[in-house]
């Protein structure tokens, strides 16, 4: 079987106010948050021009979107909106989009950032934008580990 070429993957933590972004690759299966590139949501839609620039700048081959659910696994108020965003993203980018359950990703991201700050590995304060992008990295790492919707 031929080896697959490494791919660049961008992940998105979809939210009402912001969309966190992370990047990774299938070779190392590691993700890093793009804190400076958190996307502010427009009142009715995502900033598609900014997203297009991100996809181009990073040479994305695949996309991952966090899909929110309630603790019991039932649909969350944002589930349909996140799915709609993922569908529009895939259509606009002409790239495959994978959905990953994002439950607790923001809490996990916040804890990781707090630990890094406590250890001295991070000096900057922990902003909502940094949590959103770190949550996108958590979502991407989940996808790398095989999680995703079937």
3-state secondary structure of 54: helix
DSSP state for residue 75 in the 8-state scheme: B
pLDDT digits (tens, 9 = 90+) for 48-86: 888 999 999 999 999 999 999 988 989 888 899 999 999
Q: 97, 63 in Cβ contact below 8 A?
A: yes
**25: three-class secondary structure by DSSP:** strand
Question: Domain spans of the chain?
Answer: 8-144
Q: What is the pLDDT of residue 15?
A: 86
- The arrangement of secondary structure in 8-144, i.e. its CATH architecture, is 2-Layer Sandwich (3.30)
CA distances (Å), origin 1, targets 4, 26, 81, 96:
9, 17, 39, 22
Specify the pTM: 0.86
At residue 150, the pLDDT reads: 41
Which residue ranges of the chain lie beneath pLDDT 50? 1-2, 150
Angle at 63 between CA 98 and CA 70, to 5 degrees: 45
Q: What's the pLDDT score for residue 1?
A: 41
Q: In this predicted structure, what is the pLDDT of residue 86?
A: 95
98-121 exposure pattern, b = at least 16 Cβ within 10 A, e = fewer: bbbbbbebbebbbebbeeeeeeee
């Amino acid at each position: 079987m031929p080896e697959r070429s490494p791919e660049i993957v961008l992940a998105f933590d979809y939210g009402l106010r912001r969309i966190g972004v992370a990047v990774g690759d299938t070779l190392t299966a590691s993700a890093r948050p793009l804190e400076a590139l958190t996307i502010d949501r427009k009142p009715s839609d995502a900033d598609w021009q900014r997203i297009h620039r991100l996809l181009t700048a990073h040479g994305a081959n695949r996309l991952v979107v966090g899909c929110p659910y309630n603790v019991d696994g039932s649909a969350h108020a944002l589930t349909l909106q996140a799915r709609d965003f993922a569908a529009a993203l895939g259509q606009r980018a002409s790239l495959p989009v994978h959905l990953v359950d994002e439950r607790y990703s923001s809490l996990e991201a916040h804890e990781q950032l707090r630990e890094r700050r406590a250890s001295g590995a991070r000096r900057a304060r922990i902003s909502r934008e940094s949590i959103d992008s770190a949550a996108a990295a958590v979502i991407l790492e989940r996808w790398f580990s095989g999680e995703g919707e079937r």
